[in-house]
Amino acid sequence: MDRVANKLLAQQSKQLDPFQGIGPLGNSSSFLNISSATSLLARVISLVISVITIVSFIWFIFNLFIGAFAWLSSGGDKAKLQEAQKKILNSLVGLILVISAIFLIKIVGTILGFDILNIGQFINQLQ
C-alpha cells in the first residue's frame, strides 16, 4: 500500500519558480538594464579605493607612532635614531604616494576625456 501511495505522490508535477539569482542583479530583467550593473561596479570600485585609502592612512599613523617611540627610546644611539627617522620618512612617503596616485589617476582621466574613478559613468557612455 505504501508503494502505491509513494508512486502516486511521485507522479505529481510541480511548477518551479523561475531562477531569480541573488542580489540586485538577480532579476532576469536586470540583465537588460546595464545601468544597475555599472552602478554596482562603480560602488564596488569606490568602496575599494576608499578602504585602501583609509587603511593606508591608519598604517601611516601606526608607523608614525612606532617611529616616534623608537626615536624617543633610542637613548642617543645614532643607529637606532636613524632607523626611527627612516621609518617615519618611509611611512610619510607611502602616504604621499597613495594620495598622489589618486590625483594622478584623476589627471590621466581628464587627459583621456573620461573619469577613471567613475567607471559606471564611463561604461554608460559607451552604450
DSSP string, 24-48: TT-SGGGGT-HHHHHHHHHHHHHHH
User: What's the pLDDT at 112?
Assistant: 83
pLDDT, residue 22, reads 60
Contact criterion met (CB below 8 Å) for 67 and 87: yes
- Widest distance between CA atoms in the chain: 95
pLDDT at residue 18 in the model: 60
pLDDT tens string for the chain (127 positions)?
555 555 555 566 666 666 565 655 555 554 555 566 667 777 888 888 889 889 999 999 999 999 999 999 988 899 999 999 999 999 999 999 988 998 898 898 888 887 777 777 777 776 6
Distance, in Å, from the CA atom of 53 to the CA atom of 102, rounded to the nearest integer, reads 9
Domain spans, the chain: 27-126
Write the burial class of residue 59 (CB in 10 Å: 0-12 exposed, 13-18 middle, 19+ buried). middle
